Structure 1
Amino acid sequence: MIHGFGFLSLSASLVFPWALTGLVQGKAITESLFKDVRQSSTDQKMQLPSRKLISQVSTATTYYVSATGNDRNSGRTTSSAFKTIQRAADLTKPGDTVRIMNGEYKNEPDRGSVLSIKRSGTAKAWIKFQAYPGHSPKIKHNTWNGISLGDGVSYIEIDGLEVIGNNASISRSYALSQQYNTSNPLTNGSCISIDGRQRTVHHINILNNKVHDCPGGGISVIAADYVKVDNNTVFNNCWYSLYGNSGISFFLNADYDNNRGYKHFITNNKTYNNRQYVRTLSSGRISDGGGIIVDTSKKGKNGGYKGRTLIANNISYNNGGGGVIAHESEHIDIVNNTVYGNGQSPELSEVQLAAGYSRDVKIYNNIIHGFSGQQVNKNTNNTNVIYDYNLYPKGAVSVVRGIHDVVGDPQFINPSTGDFRLKSTSAAINKGYYWKDLKTDHAGKSRPANKFTIGAYQ
């Protein structure tokens, strides 16, 4: 229990040796901060290329990867595709794209990741790893990470991939037998790991991916800046690791520059069934397994994180820990999320959505729906944390109430199947606060300025 705040714990990364740094853990809301601008330089008047002109022109390459390919191929066409994604990654230069076709891509026995990204793009020429149009490639691993990004890598986009861990091949009894083994990747591996503790990682987009069944974290972001995690589905993670992971976690946020505006985006994601079945080694108890957490950004890698974080339009449900949590963090806006039925771990008296030991946090327009009699929010040792325009069901125990909060039935279409769209008679409709930076809802539907609805769906 940290500072008496029983429903939270510090991120597991505090106990990591360097050998394990890869372990822990939007649709365009402010697209200008992340927009990929390709530089094109042509001069029709030049008949003979000069040496100086050639040095200024960067020609982007598209590489192709197929499960039936060969790493001795050129990788430049679908018929000459590489077999491994790593082969393409090791060749990329700014502006390049790696298109990944159908198939399963697995880690080599001696590798810590299926895909380790070490080459950076630039502000005007991102490097993109994306599913080939119409394809659904799968990265399946039983090592420390499915995809890892670290050591200062920047301007990288990962789009449309499925990353699968090895939960299905692990029994709970085996995991419990390994609960003190800090060096076992079978029980501690994460799906996507972004780790800037050695050198700050920055400008990373994680978009439209399916991330699941990793015994450690789902999408883990440590000591990074300008990270967008948007429209991902993150589920069945955190089950067997001794490091106390969550579905989506941002830890020790680090400033790449002095911008005080939005730099981190956690938007339009669906995160569920992330839960701990093995105690966190550092605390000796079940402590995490939540949907989304921003953790310890008041004590980030470079001191307190100066940028803002937007957590918006997410659906977080049936997780073992909290649905959306800000812990020892600051400069966060938690807006228009739907949290439902979290706190599934019986060891936790977990809330649905809360801030603790934090400051400058705005919690607006959220549907905060827990179990009957459950305490659904908290306000522990906070400064300038505002709850308002949120909806609570009747019978909910809310420690904090804003003057515009609504008590009523959200009338979800079918929460038992994960359908949190609203019926036309929902108490949430048109009761929200106009949040000027949020133009669309979870499904991409426009949010009219004068008719803001509470929750992830307009």
Structure 2
Amino acid sequence: MKKQLVASSVLFGIFLVSGTYYSCSNKESGGDPENMAWIICTDNSLDTTTYYVSVNGNDGNSGMSPATAFKSLVRAFTVIRPGGTIRILPGTYNTGIGLQLCGDPAAPITVEGYQGVPVLDGQNSIAIGIFCEGCKNMIFRNLKIQYYTDIGIGVENGNTFLFSNLEVLENGHAVQLTDWELEGYGIHVDYSENIEIRNNTVYRNGPEPQIFPNYLMGTGINTFGNKNVVIADNESYRNIGGGILVEDSYDVIVERNNIYENDLDATVDEWWDGGIWLDGGENVTIRDNNIHDNIGPGMEVSNEDNQWIQGYILENNKCNNNYYGIYIWGFGTTTWPDTAIIQNINNDFTGNSVQDVWIHP
């Protein structure tokens, strides 16, 4: 089982990152600019204002047009309200932001690249690009997120999120937040509901160098303990670890993803990661994915904690030219588990170099 983020409370990050802290109605209170800025939303009243951010802007501006843009994302997040939009103009932004208790079910907060694709760059020193804790109804799209030591973008205890058209690369190489039990992720979602992860390109995320035993395998798209999730039409490749993890989650669809050339070899610690790894939970459908050329199992399905599992559907997946086509373990059988647990429908597990179907108790 992958290690998961462990957050303690609403102010989960304060004792971990000595950064800058804000309320959505206050100005900055000082701190180390190389670390993350944490914003606690105290006003979630609806407001449809669109704010602009530009590398050539000024935080003293109104932010309400490209010509009067803010300079920093932090400034924009201190004024945005549910129903509003932050449009980020092209350029490179060296920032890391934590959001707490932001958003409202009535209207989304949208954060998007505008007139091109802006780059959020952690310079291999900032822990996380954007992290949302206890937030609701947010959209992140058309951004490039790179070189954060722990996570590119993530959410915990959230509800109703869309991550789309993101390019998330070279994150998680040197985890700093060791108390969070991370292993290095591109997109990370845990303990959340109503999540969509669509049309993203996620690559080269995970620990580098790998350090035995705690920092061996990261994940491109890492999800844990969630409900009602769609992971669709993504490309996840060349990660140091898995392409997609779905662990202890319910009512999930993983479809039409292209997963390839991920390094899944953790045999130094006597385990394998998976191109797509499913463990625990219930009612998960994995269909129409192309999983190929991975160093390890193209697909991995396990029951590590001996849970009561049913409703896994594996359908129309192509798992070819991996070390293993599919690796199934923890179900107490050397043959396919009962169809109430796993339905194997029209999958292609052929042409793999070591074994096409590997099942052990």
SS of equivalent to 2:242? coil
User: How far apart in 1 are the matches of 2:310 and 2:262?
Assistant: 25
TM-score (norm 2): 0.74
* Aligned match for 1:247, one of 220, 223, 231: 220
AA aligned opposite 1:295: E
- Deviation at 1:98? 0.4
* Aligned match for 1:84, one of 55, 66, 72: 72
Residues 320 and 352 in structure 2, CA contact (< 8 A), matched pair in contact too: no
- Deviation at 1:19? 4.5
- Which structure has more helix as a fraction of its residues? 1
User: How far apart in 1 are the matches of 2:204 and 2:15?
Assistant: 22
Residues 321 and 351 in structure 2, CA contact (< 8 A), matched pair in contact too: no
- Deviation at 1:11? 2.4
Residues 387 and 400 in structure 1, CA contact (< 8 A), matched pair in contact too: no
Alignment of 1:202 with 2:170, yes or no, is no
* Aligned match for 2:299, one of 346, 353, 356: 353
User: How far apart in 1 are the matches of 2:132 and 2:118?
Assistant: 19
Q: Which residue of 1 aligns with 2:258?
A: 315
Residues 212 and 234 in structure 1, CA contact (< 8 A), matched pair in contact too: yes
Q: Which residue of 2 aligns with 1:11?
A: 3
Residues 14 and 115 from structure 1, CA distance in 2 versus in 1: closer, same or farther, beyond 3 angstroms? Answer: closer
SS of equivalent to 2:152? strand
- Deviation at 1:13? 3.0
- Deviation at 1:76? 0.7
Residues 219 and 242 in structure 2, CA contact (< 8 A), matched pair in contact too: yes
User: How far apart in 2 are the matches of 1:362 and 1:62?
Assistant: 42
SS of equivalent to 2:219? coil
AA aligned opposite 1:213: E
- Which structure has more strand as a fraction of its residues? 2
Q: Which residue of 2 aligns with 1:71?
A: 59
Residues 288 and 318 in structure 2, CA contact (< 8 A), matched pair in contact too: yes
User: Cα deviation per residue 1:151-206 (whole Å; 9 max; x = unaligned)?
Assistant: x100000010000115xxxxxxxxxxxxxxxxxxxxx421012122xxxx111111
Alignment of 1:387 with 2:344, yes or no, is yes
How many residues align? The count is: 289
AA aligned opposite 1:237: N
Residues 75 and 377 from structure 1, CA distance in 2 versus in 1: closer, same or farther, beyond 3 angstroms? Answer: same
* Aligned match for 2:117, one of 123, 136, 142: 136
Q: Which residue of 1 aligns with 2:30?
A: none
Structure 1 residues 413-452: aligned runs within 5 Å: none
AA aligned opposite 1:207: S
Instruction: Note the residue ranges of structure 2 that are not aligned, 5 or more in a row.
Output: 18-44, 174-183, 265-273, 304-308, 332-336
* Aligned match for 1:230, one of 180, 198, 209: 198
Q: Which residue of 2 aligns with 1:164?
A: 146
User: How far apart in 2 are the matches of 1:332 and 1:274?
Assistant: 23
Q: Which residue of 1 aligns with 2:180?
A: none
Residues 150 and 185 in structure 2, CA contact (< 8 A), matched pair in contact too: yes
- Deviation at 1:394? 4.0
Residues 355 and 378 in structure 1, CA contact (< 8 A), matched pair in contact too: yes
Q: Which residue of 1 aligns with 2:24?
A: none
Residues 325 and 350 in structure 2, CA contact (< 8 A), matched pair in contact too: no
Residues 218 and 395 from structure 1, CA distance in 2 versus in 1: closer, same or farther, beyond 3 angstroms? Answer: closer
Higher relative contact order (CA 8 A, sep 6+): 1
TM-score (norm 1): 0.59
Q: Which residue of 2 aligns with 1:419?
A: none
Identity among equivalent positions (%) equals 25
* Aligned match for 1:146, one of 129, 137, 147: 129
Residues 46 and 81 in structure 2, CA contact (< 8 A), matched pair in contact too: no
User: Cα deviation per residue 1:6-29 (whole Å; 9 max; x = unaligned)?
Assistant: xxx332436999559999xxxxxx
User: How far apart in 1 are the matches of 2:290 and 2:56?
Assistant: 42
Residues 21 and 153 from structure 1, CA distance in 2 versus in 1: closer, same or farther, beyond 3 angstroms? Answer: farther
Q: Which residue of 1 aligns with 2:154?
A: 193
User: Cα deviation per residue 1:225-284 (whole Å; 9 max; x = unaligned)?
Assistant: 11111000000100337454211011122x5xxxxxxx2010000000101xxxxxxxxx
AA aligned opposite 1:310: I
AA aligned opposite 2:132: L
Q: Which residue of 2 aligns with 1:377?
A: 326
Instruction: Note the residue ranges of structure 1 that are not aligned, 5 or more in a row.
Output: 1-8, 24-56, 108-113, 167-187, 256-262, 276-288, 298-306, 344-349, 402-458
SS of equivalent to 2:79? coil
Q: Which residue of 2 aligns with 1:324?
A: 276
Q: Which residue of 2 aligns with 1:399?
A: 357
SS of equivalent to 1:90? helix
SS of equivalent to 2:76? helix
Q: Which residue of 2 aligns with 1:123?
A: 105
Residues 159 and 208 in structure 1, CA contact (< 8 A), matched pair in contact too: yes
AA aligned opposite 1:147: I
Q: Which residue of 2 aligns with 1:272?
A: 237
User: How far apart in 2 are the matches of 1:11 and 1:21?
Assistant: 20
AA aligned opposite 1:272: Y
Residues 76 and 329 from structure 1, CA distance in 2 versus in 1: closer, same or farther, beyond 3 angstroms? Answer: same
AA aligned opposite 1:355: V
User: Cα deviation per residue 1:30-72 (whole Å; 9 max; x = unaligned)?
Assistant: xxxxxxxxxxxxxxxxxxxxxxxxxxx9551000000111111
